[in-house]
Amino acid sequence: MSLVKSRAVSAKGILEYKLSGARGLPLGSRVVCADNSGAKELLIVQVHRFGGRLRRRPTANVGSMITVAVTKGPPDLKGQMFPAIVIRQRFPFRRPEGHRVAFEDNAAVLISKEGDLKGTETRGPVAREAADMWPKLAGMASVII
């Protein structure tokens, strides 16, 4: 199981290989914004690359790219939609070595359409799965668990 990069995907800053994990964040979930972009709370509106089934709600997990609406924050950001990356989830997920990992909260960081992070720092730990998939996020993270 190696991490394979294709040119089209690596230009955006995301690795092509994705672990299948416990998806604990369905549409409509509220997550904490863990960067210093100004937003405080986010609402999940869309999950990118979710191959679903009829009447199944799209769900996200750690490392997923999602579209969010800002629900709490400054008036200029409130109500706007941004792409984001999930960096923590409460629902326990299993790692290949057998450990189960669960965080205290659900958190995401805002990104631009080009894949650059909007903030300059992240608050709290970042899951290793998200840091492996998003190298720019790994460089900005203070703690990777």
Which residues make beta-bridge pairs with 107? 32, 88
Tell me which residues of the chain have a pLDDT lower than 50.
1
Domains assigned to the chain: 23-140 (2.40.150.20)
**Using one digit for the tens of pLDDT, what is the confidence trace for 51-77?**
889 999 999 999 999 999 999 999 999
Return the exposure string of 120-142: e unless at least 16 CB atoms fall within 10 Å of the residue's CB, then b: eebebbbbbbbbbbbebbeebbe
Question: Which pLDDT does position 21 carry in this prediction?
Answer: 78
Question: Which pLDDT does position 1 carry in this prediction?
Answer: 44
Question: Which pLDDT does position 9 carry in this prediction?
Answer: 55
Q: Name the pTM for this structure.
A: 0.86
Closest by Cα among 133, 107, 137, 106 to 121:
137
Question: Which pLDDT does position 22 carry in this prediction?
Answer: 86
Q: Give the angle subtended at the CA of 69 by the CAs of 34 and 33, to the nearest 5°.
A: 5
Question: Which pLDDT does position 87 carry in this prediction?
Answer: 97
